[in-house]
Structure 1
Amino acid sequence: MAILPILEIPDPILREISVPVAPDDADLPRLIADMFDTMYDAPGIGLAAIQIGVAKRLMVIDLQEEEGEDEKPVRRPRVFINPVLSEPSEELSAYNEGCLSIPEYYAEVTRPASVRAQWTDETGAAHDERLDGMLATCVQHEMDHLEGVLFTDHLSKLKRDMAMKKVLKSQRLRR
Structure 2
Amino acid sequence: MIYPVVVYGHPVLRKVAEDIDKDYKDLDTIIENMWETMYHSDGIGLAAPQIGKSIRLFVIDADPLKDEFPELKGLKQVFINAKIELLESKEESLSEGCLSLPTIREDVKRPTKIRITYFDQNFQKKVEEYEGFAARVIQHEYDHIEGKLFIDYLNPLKKRILKGRLTKISKGDVEVKYKIKTAK
Same fold per superposition (TM over 0.5): yes
State the AA in 1 paired with 2:23. Answer: D
Identity %: 35
Moved more, 11-20 or 57-66: 57-66
Equivalent residue for 1:6? Answer: 5
Q: What stretches of structure 2 of length at least 5 have no aligned partner?
A: 176-184
Structure-2 separation of matches of 1:147 and 1:38: 21
CA contact (8 A) 1:103 1:167 kept: no
Q: Secondary structure at the match of 1:85?
A: strand
| 1:80-128 Cα distance to aligned partner (Å, 9 max, x none) | 0000101111211222011110001000001110110111100122111
- The aligned counterpart of 2:173 is 172
Aligned counterpart, 2:35: 36
- Give the TM-score normalised by structure 1: 0.88
Unaligned ranges ≥5, structure 1: none
Name the CA distance, whole Å, in 2 between partners of 1:30 and 1:75.
23
Query: Is the contact between residue 85 and residue 118 of structure 1 (CA under 8 Å) also seen in structure 2?
Result: yes
| TM-score between both structures, scaled by the size of structure 2 | 0.84
Give 2:21's aligned amino acid.
Answer: A
CA contact (8 A) 1:9 1:164 kept: no
> What's the counterpart of residue 145 of structure 2?
146
The aligned runs of 1:63-142 (5 Å cut-off) are 63-65=62-64, 76-142=75-141
Alpha-carbon offset, residue 23 of structure 1:
2.4
* Larger RCO: 1 or 2 (CA < 8 Å, sep 6+): 2
